[in-house]
């Protein structure tokens, strides 16, 4: 099929982008990425390819012109910080679709395209009465990014409902299936963030959801919010929609809307430290919170560490730390990626000096 060609020009007639369209694939040149990342960083993609099927993705990877070109895979742009003014090739994942592949009286198994919006998927599942992902409401990004970093919130992680995924090998363009064991899920971690980083592109993800949901309200302020909304019965009478609405309320009260102020949600991962280290911190900082993850490990909230180090609500020119959640770094309008990266580095150094803990970014820095 011969591609159609569209040129985009400014008011003076200067062409700033050329877009070639084929079925299932859209190729553009010299495109601003400002609207493609929630930080609102104005980097430029020399080439941007949108793909809406596995076959078109494989077609892109097989093309000689891009065989040796470094590729940035982009979903919703909610977990990326552009620090370079220009990116050679961006592959924008637009593979959509939600398909029921199996079900019985208790469970339903679904296959979801990597380009589907995560929160919209959660809302769809709630509408169907399928439980398991309601605690993950309002997490920004796409389905394809969810298993990559094993997204989690309020006592639930992707690995709890995940069954398998399909990913395309960037070098060979072949499709491979990964089961949970092969993904090696950890805290905000999977093989796609380490040994297989930049080697595979996730195309679809399969989940098993519960037709007879068992709600989880044990983490954070969910029970408190449910009691305020539902009365004394609270969590005992809550539905998965009630839990979702409680989570959304909590997240909106703490986190800024990226449509109003540039941010990527939580910038740092909560560090997991040896129990002996945590007990030492307790002696020095009696109010330090901690959540056991095993007999020998304790998770410490990075937001608490950052706030205690004096960063919460601070602004430095175009960048700053959010005044309600110290985990969130913000772009006040015209920041460069390097400014946010420097702020993150300064926070890391400060926290390490005060607590002896090096907090690691959750955001992908490009």
| Residue tagged 């592959």 (tokens) | 91
Q: How many whole angstroms separate alpha carbon 161 and alpha carbon 226? A: 24
Assess whether 188 carries a catalytic annotation: yes
Q: How many whole angstroms separate alpha carbon 39 and alpha carbon 22? A: 30
Question: Angle at Cα 356 formed by Cα 195 and Cα 349, nearest 5°?
Answer: 75
Q: Give the tens place of pLDDT for each residue, 205-260.
A: 999 999 999 888 887 688 888 888 887 776 778 899 999 999 999 999 888 888 89
Assess whether 29 carries a catalytic annotation: no
Active-site residue identified among 188, 190, 204, 208: 188
The answer to whether the CB of 220 falls within 8 A of the CB of 154 is yes
Task: Please state the pTM of the whole predicted model.
Answer: 0.82
The Cβ-side half-sphere exposure at 75, using a 13 Å CA radius, reads 25
Collapse the DSSP code of 37 into the 3-class scheme (helix H, G, I; strand E, B; otherwise coil) and give the result: coil
Active-site residue identified among 53, 78, 190, 266: 266
Q: Which domains does the chain have, with CATH numbers?
A: 4-93 (3.30.43.10), 98-252 (3.30.465.10), 256-365 (3.90.78.10)
Whether the per-residue pLDDT at 151 is higher than 50: the answer is yes
Active-site residue identified among 166, 245, 339, 362: 362
Q: How many whole angstroms separate alpha carbon 146 and alpha carbon 130? A: 18
Whether the per-residue pLDDT at 119 is higher than 60: the answer is yes
Confidence of residue 17 (pLDDT cuts 50, 70, 90): very low
DSSP-derived secondary structure letter, 142: B
């Amino acid at each position: 099929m011969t591609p159609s060609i569209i040129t985009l020009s400014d008011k003076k007639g200067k062409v700033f982008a050329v877009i070639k369209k084929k079925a299932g694939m859209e190729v553009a040149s010299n495109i601003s990425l400002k609207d493609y990342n929630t930080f609102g960083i104005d980097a430029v993609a020399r080439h941007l390819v949108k793909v809406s099927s596995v076959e078109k993705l494989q077609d892109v990877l097989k093309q000689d012109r891009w065989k040796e070109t470094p590729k940035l895979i982009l979903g919703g742009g909610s977990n990326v910080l552009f620090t370079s003014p220009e990116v050679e090739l961006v592959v924008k994942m637009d593979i959509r679709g939600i398909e029921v592949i199996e079900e019985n009286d208790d469970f339903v198994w679904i296959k979801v395209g990597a380009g589907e919006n995560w929160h919209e998927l959660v809302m769809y599942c709630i509408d169907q009465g399928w439980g398991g992902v309601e605690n993950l409401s309002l997490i920004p990004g796409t389905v394809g990014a969810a298993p990559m970093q094993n997204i989690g919130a309020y006592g639930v992680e992707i690995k709890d409902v995940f069954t398998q995924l399909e990913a395309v090998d960037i070098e060979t363009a072949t499709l491979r299936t990964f089961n949970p064991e092969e993904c090696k899920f950890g805290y905000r971690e999977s093989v796609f963030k380490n040994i297989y980083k930049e080697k595979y592109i996730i195309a679809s993800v399969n989940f098993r959801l519960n037709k007879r949901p068992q709600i989880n309200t044990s983490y954070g302020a969910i029970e408190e919010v449910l009691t305020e909304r539902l009365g004394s019965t609270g969590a005992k009478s809550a539905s998965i929609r009630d839990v979702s609405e409680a989570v959304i309320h909590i997240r909106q009260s703490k986190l800024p809307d990226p449509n109003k102020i540039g941010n990527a949600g939580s910038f740092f991962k909560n560090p997991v430290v040896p129990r002996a280290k945590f007990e030492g911190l307790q002696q020095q900082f009696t109010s330090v919170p901690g959540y056991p993850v095993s007999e020998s490990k304790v998770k410490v909230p990075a937001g608490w560490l950052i706030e205690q180090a004096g960063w919460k609500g601070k602004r430095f020119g175009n960048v700053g730390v959010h005044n309600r959640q110290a985990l969130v770094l913000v772009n006040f309008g015209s920041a460069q990626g390097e400014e946010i990266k420097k702020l993150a580095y300064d926070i890391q150094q400060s926290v390490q000096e005060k607590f002896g803990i090096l907090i690691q970014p959750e955001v992908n820095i490009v």
